Amino acid sequence: MTNRHGLHARPCAVLIRTLQPFACEIKIECGEATANGNSILGVMSLAAGFGSKLTFTISGSKATGAMAAVQQLFETQFEKAYTPENKGSSGMAVSAQTGNPGTKK
């Protein structure tokens, strides 16, 4: 892992989004830990910091394309994770509530 920030939330989200179009089974290894490459929580649980060695095992009909996409992310040090459209947003909807739900007024 050559990205000085490691594989934290934003790069993980970009990795997952990048791999979504490929119908493949993806396993990522970091040290003794293995994660499902289709699961953001699984990938984040690897806690892959700067200098970590990651091994991707991709199988399926679109494995070659998926591996090329992964290679591109690493070659660019996940620059997509730091573009304005990805900063400050995980791409997930957030619901805000106001007031105390258990209190009557």
Q: Is 5 a catalytic residue?
A: no
pTM of the model: 0.72
CATH superfamily of 9-82: HPr-like (3.30.1340.10)
Please identify which of the residues 3, 4, 5, 8 carries the catalytic annotation: 8
**CB neighbours of 84 closer than 8 A, spacing ≥ 6?**
none
Per-residue pLDDT tens listing for the chain (105 residues):
766 778 888 899 999 999 999 999 999 999 999 999 999 999 999 999 988 999 999 999 999 999 999 999 988 888 877 777 655 544 433 333 334 444 344
